[in-house]
Amino acid sequence: MVYKTSTLLHFQSNDKDCLQNSSIYSLSSSNTSIHELSSDSGCSSSSQPISTECCHIDGSCQKYRYILENVEEKNNLIKNLEYIIDEQETKIALLKQHLKNYSINFDKNYQVLGNDSQNGEYGEQKVLKGISYLSLDFAKISDENLELKQNLHKVEKELSKLKLTNNMTFAQIPIMVDKEIQHEEEYKNIKEINKSLFDLSNFKEDILLKIANFNNEKNEFEKAKNQFLKETTNLVRKETNKIIELFMITLNNLSKNYQKEIERRKKLHDELVKLKGNIRVFCRIRPYNTGEEYDKNLITIDPYDVDQLTITSDNGLNKKYTVDKIFKEIDDQENIYHEISPVVTSCIDGKNVCIFAYGHTGSGKTYTMDGPDSNPGIVKRAISELFKILNEQKESLESKITVSMIEIYNEKIKDLFSPGSDNLMLKLGETGKQEIRGLSEKEVTSVNNVEDLIKLGRKNRCVASTVANESSSRSHSITLVNVITKNKITNVECKGKLNLIDLAGSERVSKSQVVGQQLKEAQCINKSLSELGNVVLALRAKASHVPYRNCLLTRLLEDSLQGDSKTLMIVQITKNKKYLSEAVSSLTFADKISKVSIKGSNNKSKINTSSLSLIENAERKKYKKSISDVTIESDISSKTDLS
């Protein structure tokens, strides 16, 4: 009985080990399947982007096959478990039956053995021992049976999960098949794209190779270019050094000859002016003003002799007059200045230049000398040209220009830049030349500075309204421009002076109908103009005596009229019949000065001293007579006022 029980227990133990090994095999198979599935999934995730979907489909199909195999294995395992459970239950039933029979036999044996006390104790112990063994075996079998049931439950649960997964996988198979078909087309397109990319890659490699070749050629060209530039630069530097050496030699020669050329230019300029005459006389015909009596045939110009004009009087007689240059009504300010500019620039060479406008009241003297801002006259144009020439020669010349502005009113000198200075004195200075004591002298650096000063001087000039002119200048206005230059090479300094004079209008007292203070002004104006005419006539005729001391105007201009100074007189006339007599008087004076011309040494005019004296005496008598007429008219008007 005991042997049978042991054999049964051994059998049960072997069955238990077999069952555990089967469970372990099942679980390890399941884990292996799951591991393989996860490995397949990993392989799918690590595939290239181009075949990702295809790998995913293949992995899903393989996973599906693994699931089917696992399900089949699980089913076989369940069948084995069920078979083992049935065997265990059969064994349990047999054990129960055996235990029941053993209990019956025990009771019987116990009764038999109870009679024998000695045998009874030994037998009882064996029975109790057998029962304990059976109880242990029964407990082990119960535990094993419970464990088998738990494993069976786990396997069934896992099987249901696998079935659910299987159903989900089967549901996704049509979609995956469609995607696989679609991806096959995409795969074909991708293959074509890859082929195109491959071709492009080859093309790119070719381009890169060509670029590399081009860069190599470029580098070689850059090296050749740099080498060429280096050689060319060296060659040019050598040639430049040679040229510089030759240039320096030439520059030294030119600098040596520069002063000679300057002196030669001055001599040529002086000779040119001398050929034209140190004293030149121009005539300008003023255009007519609106509302005046204008006769275009009153003054005509000879078409064959442009320096001669003819005046036709009321009685039909023609009188011809000759001057150095005639400007018609159509000649503008620029044309006039262009003709006189060589005289103006003489002051840069250290000459004294005197330019003045002469004529009757209203003949256009102020317009010619000053002019409006829109069409400036000689004063502004002359100073502008001086600045221009000096600026062009600033590398070789240092220069300084100062400007003063005065008026001579009733034989008194007035500083137009300082209105309070009404009676400045003209005295002989330390250099032996006439100087105006207390005269303000302004240094200018641009034309704009000069314009501001001229505007200031015009405001302070004396004007008055007469019958002949509503705004008649009652004084002589003189703009004094001093030019000091210093040659930077030779350090030779030159001082020149430019006198720009707007004379007061000459007028007949009988026509202007002035009285009182204006009559005194007219007498002073006529006297100073008469004396100026005498001085110019004497200088033109090279007289032995020049009457500078007879009036303040000629005394002031003495240093600018004598010696190698340049003098230009512009006679202003008009074709207005009202001023016919004044025009005849001005042209007669101009004609006389022009005819007493000075020629060169080879063809010098044969004018003796007696003839010059006769001319001087005749002119003096004429102007004395005019002055006496003015005095007589003044006395008559004074008596009329007294009566």
pLDDT in tens, 359-371: 888 889 989 998 8
Candidate from 221-235, 515-529, 544-558 with smallest mean pLDDT = 515-529
pLDDT above 50: residue 607: no
Rounded to 5 degrees, φ, ψ at 377 are: -95, -155
What is the average per-residue pLDDT within 598-626?
A: 41
Comparison of pLDDT for 23 and 308, the residue scoring more: 308
Q: Determine the average pLDDT of the residues in 386-395.
A: 90
Establish whether 371 is an annotated binding residue. no
Range of weakest confidence among 323-337, 377-391, 530-544: 530-544
The whole-angstrom separation of Cα 83 and Cα 80 is: 5
**Residue 602: pLDDT band by 50, 70, 90 thresholds?**
very low
Let me know: does 469 contact 365? Beta carbons within 8 Å: no
Tokens 């007059």 map to which residue? 321
Residue 361 among known ligand-binding residues = yes
pLDDT above 50 for 628: no
**Residue 637 pLDDT:** 42
Domain 277-515+565-599 coded CATH 3.40.850.10: yes
Any idea which architecture 2-212 has in CATH?
Answer: Up-down Bundle (1.20)
Q: Give me the long-range contacts of 384-388 (CB less than 8 A, separation at least 24).
A: 384/447, 385/341, 385/344, 385/345, 386/344, 386/345, 386/347, 386/348, 386/481, 386/483, 386/498, 387/446, 387/447
Collapsed DSSP state (helix, strand, coil) of residue 323: coil
Q: Which of the given ranges, 115-119, 556-560, 636-640, has the highest pLDDT on average?
A: 556-560
Average pLDDT score over residue span 548-577: 86
CB 564 within 8 A of CB 634: no
Which among 553, 532, 530, 585 has a CA at the least distance from the CA of 363? 585
pLDDT for residue 467: 47
pLDDT of residue 174: 66
What is the DSSP pairing of strand 279-286 with strand 566-574?
A: parallel
Task: For CA atoms 426, 430, 431, 432, give the dihedral sign.
Answer: positive
- Contact at 8 Å (CB) between 353 and 308? no
What is the radius of gyration, based on Cα positions, of the chain?
70
- Alpha-carbon separation of residue 467 from 113, 342, 358, 514, 579 (angstroms): 194, 38, 19, 8, 12
Question: pLDDT confidence of 639, banded at 50, 70, 90?
Answer: very low
Q: How confident is residue 442, by pLDDT bands cut at 50, 70 and 90? A: very high
**416 neighbors 477 (Cβ within 8 angstroms):** yes
Q: Where in the chain is the domain with CATH 1.20.1050?
A: 2-212
Q: Is the Cβ–Cβ distance between 383 and 500 less than 8 Å? A: no
pLDDT at 516: 67
**With pLDDT > 90 as the criterion, what percentage of the chain qualifies?**
12
- The tens digit of pLDDT for each residue in 458-471 reads 888 776 555 455 55
When pLDDT is cut at 50, 70 and 90, the band that residue 172 belongs to is low
Which residues on neighbouring strands pair with residue 355, listed in sequence order? 500, 568
The predicted structure's pLDDT at residue 253: 82
Whether the pLDDT of residue 531 is over 70: the answer is: yes
Could you report the per-residue pLDDT of 145-157, keeping only the tens digit for each? 788 778 777 877 8
> How does residue 126 score in pLDDT terms, banded at 50, 70 and 90?
low
Q: DSSP string spanning 408-457?
A: EETTEEEETTSTT---B-EEE-TTSSEEETT---EEESSHHHHHHHHHHH
Say what the pLDDT of residue 501 is: 92
pLDDT of the residue at 504: 85
- Write the pLDDT tens digit of every residue in 19-76: 344 343 343 444 444 334 334 444 444 444 445 555 655 666 676 677 777 777 777 8
**What pLDDT is stored for residue 384 in this prediction?**
92
The per-residue pLDDT for 30 is 40
Check residue 137 and give its pLDDT. Answer: 73
CATH 3.40.850.10 positions along the chain are 277-515+565-599
pLDDT at residue 42, as a whole number: 41
Which pLDDT score, from 0 to 100, does residue 573 have? 92
Q: Average pLDDT in the 264-277 region? A: 64
Asked if residue 350 belongs to a known ligand binding site, the reply is: no
For residue 498, what pLDDT is reported? 93
Task: Work out the pLDDT band at 284, boundaries 50, 70, 90.
Answer: very high
With cut-offs at 50, 70 and 90, classify the pLDDT of residue 334: very high
Residue 492 binned pLDDT confidence (cut-offs 50, 70, 90): confident
> Do the annotations mark residue 362 as ligand-binding?
yes
pLDDT in tens, 499-512: 999 988 776 655 55
Confirm or deny that 359 is annotated as ligand binding.
Answer: yes
> What pLDDT is attached to residue 632?
44
User: pTM of whole model > 0.85?
Assistant: no
Mean pLDDT of 164-181: 69
Q: 58 or 203, which is more confident?
A: 203
Q: What is the pLDDT of residue 114?
A: 56
Residue 457 clears pLDDT 60, i.e. is over it: yes
> Region 245-263: what's the mean pLDDT?
80
Terminal alpha carbon distance of the chain: 201
**Residue 228 to residues 233, 235, 237, 242, 257: CA-CA distances in angstroms?**
8, 10, 14, 21, 42
640 pLDDT band, cuts 50/70/90, is very low
77 Cβ neighbours under 8 A, 6+ residues apart? 22, 23, 26, 155
Q: Does residue 604 register a pLDDT over 60?
A: no
